[in-house]
Amino acid sequence: MLPSSSSPEIGTEVLKLEHVGLVRGGRPLLIDVNLTVHAGERWAVIGANGAGKSTLLSLCGAVQHPTSGTVDVLGARLGRVEIRELRTHIGHVNPRHPLQSPLPILDVILTGLTGSVEKMMRWEPTAVESARALELATLLGLGSKLAEPWTTLSQGERGRTLIARALITDPALLLLDEPSTGLDVAAREQLLETVDHLVSVRPELATLLVTHHLEELPSSTTHAALVTDGRISAQGLAREVLTTEAVSESFNYPIRISEHEGRWSARAGR
C-alpha cells in the first residue's frame, strides 16, 4: 500500500523499524534496530563516524533494504511497495549533492520533482510546479538569488536550496544527512534557523537529522537516538537521551553535555 498524497496528522506513525539488521560484504552494519517515528516529531540521530547513522537513514529513505527485520515507511513496507513512488513522499537532503553544472536555483529545486541531479531533457514544469519552486525559494531566504547558478552559491545557500528541493514534493518525511557539512558558523546557524522555521510552516512534518556534532542540532529537536556500533543504544525524548552518561558511553569517551535554550553543546571530560 502506497501512502496517500495528503500529509499525515500529527501523532500518526510515519516510520517503523523492527528488529532490523543490515549486512554488507559479510559485515553487519546495523544490528537489531528498533525505531518508531511519528508525524510532528523531529529526531536527531547521533553517533561516531562509522557507527551506522547514514546507513540507518538510507533504510528510512527507501534507498536500501534490510537484510533482516521490517521497515515500514509511511504505511508501506519495504519489499512490498513500488520504491520509486514511495520515494516521492520522502525528502532527502544530502550536502554532497553531485550536481556540477551551473543550474539556476529554481531549476535545482525543480529537479526534486524528477528525482534527478540534472534537469531532465524535454521535461518542463507546469505553472503550478514553477510557482511552488518560487514559493519554497522565497520561504528559505533565496528569493533574491533565483537566477544564481549552483556553481557560485555558498555552501549555506546550497544547503537551503537542497532543503527546498527536498520539500517540493510536499513530503511527509524529511531526512537530513549531516546538512551542516562544510558550513562556517554563520552559515550553519542560518541553516538551523531554516530547519526550525519549517516547524511553524509544516508542524506535521517528521524529520530525522543525522550528525555527530551536537552543536548542529536545531532547537526544534524533540527526540534523539544514539547509534553505537550498528545498534541504537538509547532513544527517546532529546533531553532524556542526550546526557553526559549516555553520549559518553556511545562515543566511548568522556564527553560533558550541556543544553541551553534548546541548543546543545559537548566538551571533553566529565
CATH of the domain at 45: 3.40.50.300
Q: Give the end of a domain, one of 170, 187, 216.
A: 170
Do 7 and 28 lie in one domain? The reply is: yes
Do 108 and 68 lie in one domain? The reply is: no
Do 64 and 180 lie in one domain? The reply is: yes
Q: 59 pLDDT band (50/70/90 cuts)? A: very high
Do 11 and 71 lie in one domain? The reply is: yes
Beta sheet of 68-73, edge-to-edge order: 27-38, 13-24, 68-73, 76-77
Do 29 and 136 lie in one domain? The reply is: no
Do 84 and 201 lie in one domain? The reply is: yes
Three cell numbers at 153? Answer: 552559491
Q: 11 pLDDT band (50/70/90 cuts)? A: confident
Do 107 and 141 lie in one domain? The reply is: yes
Number of domains forming the structure of the chain: 2
Domain housing 144: 95-170
Q: Give the end of a domain, one of 149, 170, 191.
A: 170
CA distances to 110, 111, 126, 146 from 123, rounded to whole Å, are 10, 10, 10, 20
pTM exceeds cut of 0.85: yes
Relative to beta strand 76-77, strand 68-73 is antiparallel
Three cell numbers at 43? Answer: 529526531
Do 159 and 195 lie in one domain? The reply is: no
Average model confidence (pLDDT) for the chain? 92
Do 228 and 266 lie in one domain? The reply is: yes
Residue range 87-137, pLDDT digits in tens? 889 999 988 899 999 999 999 999 999 888 998 888 899 999 999 999 999
Question: 3-state SS string over the chain?
Answer: CCCCCCCCCCCCEEEEEEEEEEEECCEEEEEEEEEEEECCCEEEEEECCCCCHHHHHHHHCCCCCCCEEEEEECCEECCCCCHHHHHCCEEEECCCCCCCCCCEHHHHHHHHHHCCCCCCCCCCCCHHHHHHHHHHHHHCCCHHHCCCEHHHCCHHHHHHHHHHHHHCCCCCEEEEECCCCCCCHHHHHHHHHHHHHHHHHCCCCEEEEEECCHHHCCCCCCEEEEEECCEEEEEEEHHHHCCHHHHHHHHCCCEEEEEECCEEEEEECC
Report the C-alpha gap between 126 and 146 in whole angstroms.
18
Relative to beta strand 13-24, strand 173-177 is unpaired
Do 57 and 105 lie in one domain? The reply is: no
C-alpha 5, offset from chain centre? 20
Q: What is the mean pLDDT of residues 72-98?
A: 91
Q: 224 pLDDT band (50/70/90 cuts)? A: very high
Do 206 and 256 lie in one domain? The reply is: yes
Three cell numbers at 225? Answer: 537516538
Q: 266 pLDDT band (50/70/90 cuts)? A: very high
Q: Give the end of a domain, one of 123, 153, 170.
A: 170
Do 122 and 152 lie in one domain? The reply is: yes
| pLDDT > 70 in the chain, percent | 97
Amino acid symbol at 152? T
